[in-house]
Amino acid sequence: MSIPIVTIVGRPNVGKSSLLNCLARRRISIVEPTSGVTRDRVSTEIHHGDHLFELIDTGGMGVIDVDGLTADIEAQIEIAIYMADVILFVVDVREGITPLDSMVAEKLRRLNKQTILVANKVDTPKFEFQTSVFNKLGFGEPLPVSATERFGRTELLDRITTLLPDLHLTEVDTAGPMMKLAIVGKRNAGKSTLINTLAGQQRVIVSEVPGTTRDSVDVRFEMDGKQFLAIDTAGVRKKKQVEGSIEFYSMARAERSIRRADVALFLIDSTLKVSEVDKKLGDFIVSECKPCIIVINKSDLVRDVETQKYNKYIYDCLPGLSFAPISFISAKNNEHIVDMIHLALDLYKQANTRVSTSDLNKALEEALTLHRPTRKKTKSPKIYYTTQVSVSPPTFILFVNDPKLFDSDYERYLANQLRNKLPFPEIPLKFHFRARSKTQ
């Protein structure tokens, strides 16, 4: 059974994104004084008591987007309002009723939806006395809150749950998604197009304008009866080209999305050469030890490419991801998308695999037989045995005579050998070298 939906609406700069962050108790939407920062529907699940609902942040109603995306933003708002079981109509207590507030109120009155009027920015007690002016909007007594100070948070959540359909946690599917997929890549690689293809709807705005996506947008989708969570991220570009705090926070969220994910779908535009931005993004995925599929998008535009030769080019450009599988897709034409998701499921399974200590040490002994670590001055490196201590990524402790004798080159060699011999051939492995005590 699907969970109820609560949608936040209002004119620009009344604190809608701050309110979503306040109710979620974590920073999800970008908060900036600039008008029109939020473009897509940004959502999160909220638990309150034994109730669960999806909370959606929307762009400012009446905003004129500087990149010509006004119609797309308004379409996203319309969808969010249509889906809503409850609407939070947010106004700014410090500015009183503006013409745009009246326009929003008139639109909402025609919809006949359960609506809570939220008077935001009540940061000091004196502003509580100014909330009554909003009674004129026709939605009853406004509820005073301060999203930045979290004042009125519990009262607002209580009010929301009284208006929701009579469902409780025991009646909805709270098992969560099978797997979280971070969709990352540089600007205009096709990330938002892929999200919409997976979701089967225009879930995020797709535009030729670079930097259209700013927030990280979580989108649930289903395939073969399994639930997935896809995270659309802002496009990454060179740090020296980052302009303003909006892009800074977008990049920070893209990195956080990779950390949150079970598998990274690393999109590369097949019509362009691999760039320095691609290489740095690949290095970040490697540093986070995330399973990764190198997704070559827009393959419909380059039909005559020799696959083996192109794969070698990709791995030469991204040597840290030499173990990662490559998937050729066309997000726009929905080509090979199912195969890509099945491949992601296989990587997820590999990342959560445990092997027995005996199988692990047998593979280690074979690797040592083929190539032992180089002797350092008067001391020979020795590995006594290893054990797996965790999964996702598979993590191993190697007990040795002196951890300082093992360099990154030998660590890479061991990783490649274990990938060849054990059931995780396409994912990163993590090693910790530990000196064996004399009592062991």
- Give the tens place of pLDDT for each residue, 131-152: 889 999 989 999 999 988 889 9
| C-alpha triplet 148, 150, 154: angle, nearest 5° | 150
Q: Tokens for 216, please give them.
A: 């990280």
68 plus 216 within the same structural domain: no
Write the CATH number for 328: 3.40.50.300
397 and 271 both lie in a single domain: no
Q: Is residue 440 part of a domain?
A: no
Residue with tokens 């059931």: 423
Cα 176 to Cα 180: distance, rounded to the nearest angstrom: 10
Residues 116 and 184 in one domain: no
Residue 198 lies in a domain: yes
Query: 370 and 271 share a domain?
Result: no
Q: Are residues 138 and 254 in the same domain?
A: no
Same domain, 120 and 24: yes
Select from 279, 96, 258, 112 the least CA-distant residue to 186. 279
Q: Are residues 29 and 158 in the same domain?
A: yes
- Going by pLDDT thresholds of 50, 70 and 90, the confidence category of residue 328 is very high
136 and 186 belong to one structural domain: no
- Is residue 313 in some structural domain? yes
Q: Is 407 helix (H, G, I), strand (E, B) or coil?
A: coil
Share of the chain above pLDDT 70, in %: 82
pLDDT band at 341 (very low <50, low <70, confident <90, very high): very high
Tens digit of each residue's pLDDT (9 = 90 or more) over 236-279:
555 554 444 444 555 666 787 888 899 999 999 999 999 988 99
| Token reading at 193 | 């197009």
Distances (CA, A) of 45 to 73, 133, 174, 280, 410: 22, 32, 10, 32, 44
User: What residues make up the domain containing 268?
Assistant: 179-351
Measured CA to CA, the distance from residue 48 to residue 175 in angstroms comes to: 17
Q: Are residues 378 and 339 in the same domain?
A: no
Degrees to nearest 5, angle at CA 60 with 54 and 66: 130
pLDDT at 123 over 50: yes
Q: Is 81 left (phi over 0), alpha (psi -120 to 50) or beta?
A: alpha
Contact between 71 and 59 under an 8 Å Cβ cutoff? The reply is: no
Query: Do residue 186 and residue 167 come from a single domain?
Result: no
Q: Are 396 and 387 in contact (CB under 8 A)?
A: yes
Residue 251 counted as domain residue: yes
Residue at a domain's end among 303, 321, 351: 351
What contacts 96, CB < 8 A, 6 or more positions away?
Answer: 130, 133
pLDDT of residue 348: 96
CA distance 8 to 89: 6
Is 286 inside any structural domain? yes
**Mean pLDDT confidence for 273-293:** 92
- For residue 381 the two structure tokens come to 């490196």
Question: Residue 394 — very low, low, confident or very high, per pLDDT cuts 50/70/90?
Answer: very high
Confidence (pLDDT) at 33: 45
Of 113, 146, 171, the one marking the end of a domain is 171
Identify how many contiguous H helices and E strands the chain contains and give both numbers. Answer: 11, 15
- In the chain, % of residues over pLDDT 90: 48
Q: What amino acid is encoded at 221 in this protein? A: F
Domain end: 114, 146, 171, which one?
A: 171
Evaluate whether residue 226 is within a structural domain. Answer: yes
Q: Is 105 contained in some domain?
A: yes
pLDDT for 124 equals 81
> Helix (H, G, I), strand (E, B), or coil: what is residue 370?
helix
Confidence of residue 13 (pLDDT cuts 50, 70, 90): confident
Is 70 in the same domain as 212? no
Residue 295 Cα distances to 201, 242, 246, 332, 334, angstroms: 21, 25, 27, 14, 13
Q: How confident is the model at residue 231, as a pLDDT? A: 83
- Whether 304 shows a pLDDT value over 80: the answer reads no
**Domains contained in the chain, number:** 3
Answer with the residue of higher pLDDT: 278 or 217. 278
Q: Does position 32 have pLDDT exceeding 60, yes or no?
A: no
Q: Tell whether 339 is covered by a domain.
A: yes
pLDDT recorded at residue 171: 54
Contact 230, 183 (CB under 8 A): yes
Identify the pLDDT of residue 81: 86
Name the token pair of 70: 């006004």
pLDDT given at position 76 = 77
Residues 205, 338, single domain; the answer is yes
Q: Which helix (H) or strand (E) element contains residue 339?
A: helix 337-351
Q: Locate 233 and state its tokens.
A: 């991220």
How far apart are the C-alpha atoms of 172 and 86, rounded to whole Å? 18
Q: Please give the average per-residue pLDDT across 150-173, as a whole number.
A: 79
Contact 9, 105 (CB under 8 A): no
CA pseudo-torsion sign 258, 261, 264, 267: negative
Strand order from edge to edge, sheet including 86-92 = 42-48, 51-57, 5-9, 86-92, 114-120, 143-144
CATH number at residue 404: 3.30.300.20
